[in-house]
Structure 1
């Protein structure tokens, strides 16, 4: 089970959930309503937080602190409650304890529900009130999350930063949130690490551990690179900035020379930085519209553009985002190849956002794709996006993580307290088939450490149909299924996860078309988006034995076939856990030679 740790050192510690409504606002608050939906809340700060009621589909209001007639900090966009309250978020006041301040709230009518629900508070109810919150996938403690950012490993700890809105569970107010783990399964929420500033909101980026003090901030300093995204009356502006940490990512100091790279391009974002040992310099890869740009530096501050990549390469159905460039071993050989990961939105194989990749060579300045006419996808579901890898991962591993959602419906999935989860961690390698190099994504070995109760089903043959009536006792919706299938002469192998309410996820191997297919159109709640009830398909090149691992959590299924040669990630929202599995066939049948279910902790 996911564990969260909260300390007073975090900038944002937690959220007040499920508060009892009152008929009037907190008596310690004085609210004055002005013309044109301008409002002033005056108070003497006696508590850590002003609790703001949020309505997900309300128009955005603007909120900031005013002290001595001056605005403090940046204006935050908050969808304050007008007709109803979906959740609450904390607006931090502790820096002003004992002082008289005002909170400027713009764009909210005087008759809004918000004015009856504003409260001061020092403590929070952190109990999970979400039916669909995953058990073993990372999620934000509250608020909105999208792209994983700045991932690095240091002193036995995996650090995960992420695009974060602490003021609501829809996209906006981009900060970097921060979580840590020692095993990639149990996560501690560390609060907000990097906040918006004069150069804009904090968009996606990366972190490096500067072992040799090349930047001059200190040996082993953690240095973050991110996109500063500013909206102006003349349009949006994106540039690249940096910050450094001397306490392993707990706090960051922004570089005084920001922004460090600027451009005339509109879409200019998501810096991924790494050390290129042969050239003894740093490399930055940036997403620029529908191509990538590569830069080099010896000190992490001054950057030189070296090359571009992307013209007439891969899919171009949308904007390229969240790049990564990694060197991977080829299984069964001493060979190594470079892989450029390119996330795209829209333009995925089944609509919306997805992650593609290219395999080739890199000389420290220029990347060359060895298969320019072929588009390769990292994941064949709808819900793996913004995939990037950890810097400084142990044992030479390359560990990746994705955002488990799709921009077609990410703001509308049926949760309130939080939105979005990450995929499980995946170890990346390459394999060769038919003269081509392909990416293999294997569940990270830490996932086996999460296994608890095990149920083994004896070998069985499917000649028509077969059903397992109960996968687990006390099924909480979080488990792994590991199976091996002897194909024999079957042409179609059907595998259906079901619950007692008739909701199901239909999966099958179509061996004639060489595909693995997943259909979630009857998986549970699907009516929040026309794009959600989808059918996804992955190419399969398998022999007479099929191996499949299914990672099921309360709101997701991740299928890993043939030891990670194909991966499919899809969200699901069943009204109760899938605890049954039925099998069907076309052809002369097949044998399930092993079938194990593990409850995941």
Structure 2
């Protein structure tokens, strides 16, 4: 069955039934395929939400849709002048979640002209992984994000997998200086449309500050290994070249160089124990020292400390573990920030029963801290977050205390002096997080994570945002994120110690929501 739609408005609203059968829907104009998606379609006219497709570029043309004989699905498609907005309000407020649909890895993180751009792996048509596109959100303060139109859709080269963004400061690619340039993985073979293609790294650009992105057709970095992906590009001043780090296969990565942002040459292939996909490479200052070191990063939050000369990364460490649990993943640093390395991870939160899946973590600023002659990565809360928080109470804990929480995001900051041989328990509703400084463990439900030198830590931070909890400890070298089950939490928080003689200072903050 074929169904025609004359494009007259700015958006198509596509009905989604999350428990329906995944059905491949094809969009053609003048017998040429322009889009192809898998959409869950049920056997009635009920819907769970709509997926928005911007169609300004197709106004005056006619879509011909095919793939199902379900007339209820076709009749449920509408044209509107605004994107679909889900009215549900019970969601995290300072952890970005998509209006509807599935999100995973942050992509193309770049700062330009006072605006932070966060693109992300996105399936607007389901709360499960599929149809990988690039969603887009913007912020002026790294905390409050506005979802924009989806900018990169699957095409004949495959789904749009992860990638990066940067400013075109050197006016390359025959594009103006204020152009934003993007590198993305075109995942050939992941769709029917691209079934005979391989994975390549595509190049795209935006001349309107990230709002619309144009793919450079037939310009790409050729396949090195079958599913090589996740390019991260940055300028390396000392060797006067752009550097790309790329995942190749298993625990193998590549370093590539370019002077024109178009032609990249492999300068190194390297293996890093247990590392896997989503690489990043950046130089960090050691706190309190003049020394800097290079950090090679991968999706699991494993990192490796060494040296980089523009051609070769030389690893000098064992595998180091940045995350205390598995909820955060695939973090990327933001391009365009002078002398700052701010990272945003994807949080693998399920939000069961909600029309959205996945969230982004609060941006953290990286630095290296020397402890016991070892270097550890710090996940410091970004200064924008610290500027937005308001101190609403200060108290001390020698036994037990109870805090009443409203819907506003809040932070409980616990400090102490001297060595800590104690166990702190934090009760959030019916959920319990334990910080065991004796056993050097962080515990939540069946999750047990080891802490590094935890007996010497002097600050514990717990941020509560609806049902997302972020915990940092020991000078922010310990980082964990938890998802509380069920609906948002607005009740009592209990904090107590198993050693009443230990004195703790507690600051309680609320986060200004602003606009």
Q: CA deviation at 1:115?
A: 5.7
What is the RMSD of the two structures over their aligned residues, measured on CA atoms?
A: 2.6
2:380 aligned with 1:442, yes or no? yes
Q: Does the 8 Å contact 2:284/2:293 carry over to 1?
A: yes
Q: Does the 8 Å contact 1:130/1:415 carry over to 2?
A: no
Q: CA deviation at 1:331?
A: 0.8
Deviations 1:74-93 (A, max 9, x none): 31111123365322223455
2:230 aligned with 1:274, yes or no? no
Q: Does the 8 Å contact 1:236/1:266 carry over to 2?
A: no
* Superposition pairs of residues 225-244 of structure 1, within 5 angstroms: 225-231=183-189, 237-244=198-205
Q: Compared with structure 1, are the counterparts of its residues 184 and 260 closer, same or farther at alpha carbon in structure 2 (3 Å cutoff)?
A: same
Match among 237, 247, 266 for residue 287 of structure 1: 247
For 2:124, the equivalent position in structure 1 comes to 166
For 1:20, the equivalent position in structure 2 comes to none
2-structure distance, mates of 1:451, 1:95:
42
For 1:492, the equivalent position in structure 2 comes to 422
1-structure distance, mates of 2:110, 2:246:
18
2-structure distance, mates of 1:222, 1:238:
23
2-structure distance, mates of 1:44, 1:548:
58
* Superposition pairs of residues 222-371 of structure 1, within 5 angstroms: 222-231=180-189, 237-263=198-224, 265-290=225-250, 291-310=252-271, 313-315=272-274, 320-343=276-299, 354-371=300-317
Q: Does the 8 Å contact 2:398/2:497 carry over to 1?
A: no
1-structure distance, mates of 2:213, 2:61:
27
1-structure distance, mates of 2:511, 2:170:
44
2-structure distance, mates of 1:255, 1:545:
50
* Superposition pairs of residues 477-516 of structure 1, within 5 angstroms: 478-486=409-417, 491-499=421-429, 503-504=430-431, 506-515=432-441
- TM-score, L = length of structure 1: 0.78
2-structure distance, mates of 1:97, 1:361:
53
2-structure distance, mates of 1:159, 1:125:
21
Q: Does the 8 Å contact 2:456/2:474 carry over to 1?
A: no
Deviations 1:213-249 (A, max 9, x none): 2433232432111111122777772111101222222
Deviations 1:107-162 (A, max 9, x none): x464x86366444444566253153x211112222322111111111112211111
Structure 1 gap ranges (5+): 1-38, 344-353, 522-533
For 1:562, the equivalent position in structure 2 comes to 474
Q: Compared with structure 1, are the counterparts of its residues 289 and 415 closer, same or farther at alpha carbon in structure 2 (3 Å cutoff)?
A: farther
Q: Does the 8 Å contact 2:246/2:254 carry over to 1?
A: yes
Q: Does the 8 Å contact 1:152/1:392 carry over to 2?
A: yes
Q: CA deviation at 1:477?
A: 5.5
Q: Does the 8 Å contact 2:187/2:227 carry over to 1?
A: no
Match among 387, 393, 418 for residue 456 of structure 1: 393
Structure 2 gap ranges (5+): none
1-structure distance, mates of 2:206, 2:370:
40
For 1:471, the equivalent position in structure 2 comes to 404
Q: CA deviation at 1:498?
A: 2.5
For 1:175, the equivalent position in structure 2 comes to 133
Deviations 1:243-264 (A, max 9, x none): 122222222232244222222x
Q: CA deviation at 1:47?
A: 4.5
For 1:548, the equivalent position in structure 2 comes to 460
- TM-score, L = length of structure 2: 0.91
2-structure distance, mates of 1:281, 1:123:
43
Look up the SS of the partner of 2:223 in the other structure. coil
Q: CA deviation at 1:295?
A: 0.7
For 1:197, the equivalent position in structure 2 comes to 155
1-structure distance, mates of 2:58, 2:205:
26
Q: Does the 8 Å contact 1:227/1:270 carry over to 2?
A: yes
2:178 aligned with 1:184, yes or no? no
Q: Higher Cα Rg: structure 1 or 2? A: 1
Q: Does the 8 Å contact 1:491/1:585 carry over to 2?
A: no
